[in-house]
Structure 1
Amino acid sequence: MNGTPPSPGATGTPPARRSLAPDLARGFMLLVIATVHAHMFRQIAGTGEGLGQVGTLDTTVTAFMTLFAESRGYPMFAALFGYGLAQIYLRRTAEGRPWPWVRSLVRRRGRWMIVIGFLHTLLLFYGDIIAVYGLIALLLAGVLHRTDRRLLATGLAWASVGVLVYATFEAGLSSTDAQQQAMEVTPLTDLVMRLAIWPVMTVLMLGISVLPFTVGVWAARRRLMEEPERHLRFLRRVALVGIVAAVVGALPQMFVMVQFWQPGPLLSIAAKWLHVVSGYAGGFGYAALIALVAVALGDRRGPIVRALAATGQRSMTCYLLQSVAWVALLMPYTMNLGAGLNDAQAVLFGAAVWAVTVVIAAVMDRFGVRGPAETFLRRMTYGPGGKAAPIPSEGRDPVPRG
């Protein structure tokens, strides 16, 4: 999932020089994604019971996930991906690299992310996001060179269509869940379903991910996550307004999910649309809040903070490890633990899987081992030797503003 490499270059940035906030944000957001995915896998591999049907605890957990987690983790990750890609652009152009060279680098990175995402889907999980970010890098590398106004206008244009299409699809999909849950899940049917869903989900997720991506690029130009102490007032406002707006905007969808409200088709689409749009605010709010936490921590890097940062530095690897756990532990054709989980237990299970990946990342960090997925992507981006082309003698490529 990590569209942001641990390095701006081929050899990597030493951990001591890395900014805490982006890594901390990715590490924490993997918890959100893990609980959401476990919740989803419980529906795929479990008993087929509807959300909020088991008891008060399950209803409460489903309400909480709808308000604070679902459609809130992906926007933040898309923004962090944009932030990281912008860092590559800014650092490379500051070195004196010409724009065509940097654009080619970004697109090559995107192509390999699409390959990784496809293999992720083929082998493990239908809800892949890596290929979506790869498509953004491949198709929209040019926005890194645009002015702020054109950059954000591009994101808004994509969202104006993408969110509506996504909301319509999701509202329609929820009406067919019962039929899908009745189908027997085998390795073959699961594989066929993953491959059939992948192009559809990739396009849908692309439509709703471009806006937070462009906001991440905009934020990187101002170093909001690298130098949060310079933007405290702005970050406080974003955190407060964003999180409150996300909760308020999720209320209609929450009532649908706990089966307190059963609207017609148009209102179902409207509730889902508002949920996704408010999710943007929530994702940005969470990022701002974590940046404020990083400021409060300062140089205090205890074992928990270091472990979370190590997880963020290896976020693609940890994201893929989560998918391995879902398939190995939850699916009916493996250990089939999903059949015995209710909604609350599924969320706790997701949190436990995330905690294991945090421990793995911390151990890797202790021994100086980089994430294998990040290492592979860097190698494929920069070539087998891990060396960039010689820097041309021309002047530095200016950073667009406006």
Structure 2
Amino acid sequence: MLLPSTNHAMLLKVSTAVTAARLASIDTIRGIAVLGILLLNVFSMGVSLYDYVPHQQANFADKLWQVLYYFVLRDRFMSLFAMLFGAGLYLQWQRFAGATDLLKRRMYWLLVLGVLHCILIWPGDILFNYAVCGLILLRYLKQPPQAMLALALRLFVMGVLLSGVASLLAGDIPPIYRESAEFQQEVSLWTGAYQQQVALQAMYWVGDLLYFPLTYLWQLLGLMLLGAYAVRSGWFTVGLAHYSRFLLPSSVLLSAIAYLIATSENAALTGVAEAVTNVAALPMSLWIIHQLAKSQYRSSSIFSALQAVGRMPLTLYIGQSVAGVLLFRHIAPELNVSLDWYGYLAIAMLWNAVQLVIASLWLHYFAQGPLESLWRKLAFGRNYHPAP
């Protein structure tokens, strides 16, 4: 599956080309995205078929969770991370002087890592999907900026529509509650023997392999292409100029519409609510990019810590999965039943604080994260020397 080996001279040439200074604002924003992703993923580290499962008798906390889900968490950081992946791939393509063969090797190995992550550790993997989209994205990086923007928006809209149609075709799915026998059975399955977990995760991956090209692939590809356009347009360094004032209000408005639909009497409209939420996530992600790009505190210690997180996203993303699965399936599986949503978020925030410390300490002694180093060596060989 991998492309032929590149000769030694070519590797040295590439290693020289990629020694340009890293765009600190992208590292900072990527750090926000990596930490933010855990705030939603933490709910499915145990029973991986669901996000937060509410109580049958909805209390005030569960109602507050719905507001938080639709207005803040759902797809916000995932959309941001996808755009950053596209931006990073475009910068690498520039540094490699258009040597797409080398970048394809990189995507192929990310694909392998994603399959292993999904089947052996946690089925909520995004690496496989990102690798597939990255391979497609390489075909469009030469496009003029306006053509790239137009294609990005078309792909995003098509992906949202396909996901919405798929949800509607799935029909009215009965809600699941914490106290139900069905949820108790799911907890038993996902916290059972490791071999059983691997089998479940392999089935999950096969299902995603069939479902992904028909739905989320196009939305994800659109976001990545938008990220490539954003880095070409300077959004990560100077912000979004005239559009910035409309970003947050439009996201809040769309989130309110999604929330009202989701909490209405018509349960069949839940799929429509998810599609509207996907759209609402985009302006909020762009607003975060604008705010951080324009921030006057980019030289502060917290920004430096976020940059460190953003420089080792693969290591920390896999680390989140390992830590979450160990906690919720092996060390304390009872938490799947006893924790309310704020308990999950407290655990995620604590682990995020740990990640800030780990990333800063690691990069004080090493040039890159351990999995980042492994990924580069797998893709390029031992003669490749990463940028600082």
TM-score range, shorter chain: 0.7 to 0.9
More moved, 150-159 vs 64-73: 150-159
What SS is found at the alignment partner of 1:297?
coil
What letter is aligned with 2:290? A
**Residues 1:163 and 2:160 aligned together:** yes
Residue number in structure 2 paired with 1:139? 136
Alpha-carbon shift at residue 83 of structure 1 (Å): 0.6
What SS is found at the alignment partner of 1:262?
coil
Distance 1:148 1:47 in 2: 37
Residue number in structure 2 paired with 1:233? 241
Residue number in structure 1 paired with 2:233? 222
**Any idea what the Cα deviations from partners look like across 1:219-261, whole Å, max 9, x if unmatched?**
1223332x32xx5734xx33x422222222122433466xx42
Contact 1:42 1:343 in 2 (8 A): no
Inter-CA distance 42–176: structure 2 relative to 1 (3 Å threshold) = farther
Residue number in structure 2 paired with 1:393? none
Distance 2:303 2:154 in 1: 38
**Any idea what the Cα deviations from partners look like across 1:267-311, whole Å, max 9, x if unmatched?**
333222111112122222212222122xx125x332x22211101
Count of aligned pairs: 359
What SS is found at the alignment partner of 2:100?
helix
What letter is aligned with 2:204? I
**Residues 1:254 and 2:253 aligned together:** no
The 5 Å alignment of 1:121-200 reads 121-170=118-167, 172=170, 175=173, 178=176, 181=183, 182-183=185-186, 184-185=188-189, 186=192, 187-200=194-207
Distance 2:171 2:350 in 1: 29
What letter is aligned with 1:316? L
Residue number in structure 1 paired with 2:8? none
Inter-CA distance 53–44: structure 2 relative to 1 (3 Å threshold) = farther
Residue number in structure 2 paired with 1:272? 274
Distance 1:314 1:12 in 2: 20
Contact 1:35 1:349 in 2 (8 A): no
Distance 2:155 2:319 in 1: 31
**Residues 1:301 and 2:300 aligned together:** yes
The 5 Å alignment of 1:285-300 reads 285-293=287-295, 296-298=296-298, 300=299
Distance 1:51 1:164 in 2: 31
Distance 1:138 1:47 in 2: 29
CA RMSD of aligned residues (A): 3.0
Inter-CA distance 108–45: structure 2 relative to 1 (3 Å threshold) = closer
Residue number in structure 2 paired with 1:103? 100
Structure 2: gaps spanning 5 or more residues: 1-12
Inter-CA distance 48–290: structure 2 relative to 1 (3 Å threshold) = closer
Alpha-carbon shift at residue 334 of structure 1 (Å): 4.0
Instruction: Output the TM-score relative to the length of structure 2.
Output: 0.82
Alpha-carbon shift at residue 106 of structure 1 (Å): 2.0
Distance 1:124 1:276 in 2: 27
Identity of aligned residues (%): 21
Alpha-carbon shift at residue 174 of structure 1 (Å): 7.9
What SS is found at the alignment partner of 1:143?
coil
More moved, 142-151 vs 105-114: 142-151
Residue number in structure 2 paired with 1:4? none
What SS is found at the alignment partner of 2:64?
helix
What letter is aligned with 1:263? N
What letter is aligned with 1:131? F
**Any idea what the Cα deviations from partners look like across 1:125-164, whole Å, max 9, x if unmatched?**
1111111111112123110112224323433343333222
Inter-CA distance 292–201: structure 2 relative to 1 (3 Å threshold) = farther
Alpha-carbon shift at residue 123 of structure 1 (Å): 1.5
Alpha-carbon shift at residue 330 of structure 1 (Å): 1.0
Contact 1:35 1:351 in 2 (8 A): yes
What letter is aligned with 1:286? I
Alpha-carbon shift at residue 113 of structure 1 (Å): 0.9
Residue number in structure 2 paired with 1:71? 75
Structure 1: gaps spanning 5 or more residues: 1-7, 94-98, 389-402
